Structures are given as structure tokens and as C-alpha cells.
Amino acid sequence: MPALLLASLLIIFSTAAHAQVYKCKNAENQIIYSDTPCLPGSQEIATDIGTLQPGNADPDAAAGIMRQLDAAVKSAIAANDMTRANALATTEKHREWITAAIREQAQQPGKSPAELQAQKASSSECATAKRNLEAEANARASNPEVLSARKSLMYAACGIVEPVIIERQTPATMLYNYPYRPRPPYWDQQHQRHPERKRGPYTNKPDYKEPVTKEPGRPEQKKSTIKLPIKNQQKNNTGITSNLQADISYRGTSNVRASLIRINY
């Protein structure tokens, strides 16, 4: 696109040497350059761009424009972009270059994309485009538009696919306000929009419990009763069967202490 824009501007300024140039704005707010007056319904912005006579034309400026056009056409041919080369061609010499390039490509056998890219990278057009880009980048007053055009020409001459720059924008912060429902008040706060409402039971009232503290270094005591029936029951003198019942308490350690042994007759 920068190369096409540059070519269109060069063509406009080259035609200004022979005819009046009109700058018009149509109903869709588009700027159109023409060598005829603006159409009805269009706004004429400037009609005095200048009519230069052939005798008053600056030969150095015309030669500079033609050199830039020649370089643009050669760069398009080197990049095998015949569509862009035909759009930039303004003289018979340019069309002869394009025809010769098409004929030469038809006579050559098919090459792989890697071979074509290597051929373009080692061409003189690629080296020239790199030098021009480096000179423009190192210039004190470098023009960003010219630098971008130099980059595009270098990519095309060297067979490099021009990278696509994607600008990422930080999403805006959304602030919600009325009529969105505010969050419910806490149990100890009044309602923001309806302060006259009575305070009722709230589900978000915190349940506070006193923490249970344990005495450090002393394990919890447990008590259990174990009944030990005697397998071989014997009758005493009174004729009553005797059973053995023991109450054992322990403190969670390996030592078991018998607190009471009671024998019932």
C-alpha cells in the first residue's frame, strides 16, 4: 500500500506539469484528484495546484521522480509482483521491462519457493533496498512514512513476507452504578437506599464462637469400663455364680492403670 500511494502521488505531480489538477470531495467525504472540474454535488477544495509549462518545469525534480518510479517498478519485478509492476508502470520502458520479465519467467523451469527466496535474497535489488533502508534509519531527521516505505521495498526485493503488526489495546475498566443492585448490607449496617427499613434477621450475620483452649502438655483423659466374665464359673458356698468386673481408666498412654477391681458374688 505505501508503494501504491507513493506511485499515485508521483503520477499526480508528474501530470501537473501538463494540465490543471482539481481536488474534489464527493458526498462520501472522499478526496478525488482529477484533471477535469469537480462534478455537481462535489466540493472543490483546491484548483490552483499549479499548471507548469514544459519550459518552466524543473528538470532535476522530473528526473528524481522518474528515478523513483524506475526503482519502484524494478522492485516489483524482482519480487515477482507483476500486478504491482503494471500499476506502477508509466512509460514504455517500464512496460518493456515487465514483458521481458514475464517472458524470462516462462522460459525458466519451475523452482521451489525456497530456491526463489534464496535467489531474491542474493540479488542486487535486495542489497540496494537494504542499503537504502539502513541509510533512512540512520538519518537524523528520519520520516516514519518514508521509513515504512523503505521497509516494504526491502521485504519485496528480498522475498521476505512482510510481518503483520497487530496493536493490542487494554480493555477499558467498566464501572457499574445505579440501576444495578448494590450488594446487601452487613448485619450491623443500615440499608443504603432505604434507611427507613427496619433491621431484620440477616443471613450474613457472623456466627462467633469462643475458641476452645486446651491445657498444653496434658493429654485428654478417657475412661472406659471393661467387663471380664470368668469362663469357668464356679459356685461358692452360697451357691451363687461369681463374676469378675474391672473398671480401668487410662490417660492415652501405653501404661494402663487398674483403678478398681470389684468382685461380685
Reported as a single tens digit per residue, the pLDDT across 200-219 is 555 555 566 667 676 666 66
Reported as a single tens digit per residue, the pLDDT across 54-65 is 444 455 656 767
Could you tell me if residue 150 is inside a domain? yes
Reported as a single tens digit per residue, the pLDDT across 2-37 is 444 444 444 444 443 343 456 677 776 666 655 567
Could you tell me if residue 122 is inside a domain? yes
CA dist 212 and 220 (Å) reads 13
**Residue ranges with strand state E in the chain:** 22-25, 31-34, 43-46, 222-228, 243-250, 257-264
Reported as a single tens digit per residue, the pLDDT across 66-77 is 777 787 887 777
Could you tell me if 138 and 10 lie in one domain? yes
Question: DSSP state, 241?
Answer: B
Could you tell me if residue 233 is inside a domain? yes
Helices 92-107/59-78 angle, 10° precision? 20
- Quick one: how far is CA 81 from the chain centroid? 31
Could you tell me if residue 68 is inside a domain? yes
Question: DSSP state, 192?
Answer: S
Dihedral sign (CA 66, 72, 77, 81): negative
CA dist 135 and 129 (Å) reads 10
Reported as a single tens digit per residue, the pLDDT across 118-146 is 878 888 888 888 888 888 888 888 788 88
User: For residue 230, what are the domain limits?
Assistant: 222-264
Could you tell me if 252 and 145 lie in one domain? no
What's the pLDDT score for residue 148?
A: 83
155 φ, ψ to 5°? -60, -40
Total number of domains constituting the chain: 2
Could you tell me if 6 and 120 lie in one domain? yes
Cell numbers 503488526: residue: 165
CA dist 180 and 189 (Å) reads 20
Cell numbers 507548469: residue: 52
Could you tell me if residue 133 is inside a domain? yes
Cell of 53: 509549462
Could you tell me if residue 197 is inside a domain? no
Could you tell me if 117 and 9 lie in one domain? yes
CA dist 227 and 246 (Å) reads 6
Could you tell me if 106 and 8 lie in one domain? yes
| Domain termination residue (choose one: 158, 180, 200) | 158
Could you tell me if 237 and 143 lie in one domain? no
Could you tell me if residue 132 is inside a domain? yes
Could you tell me if residue 174 is inside a domain? no
CA atoms within 13 A on the CB side of 89: 18
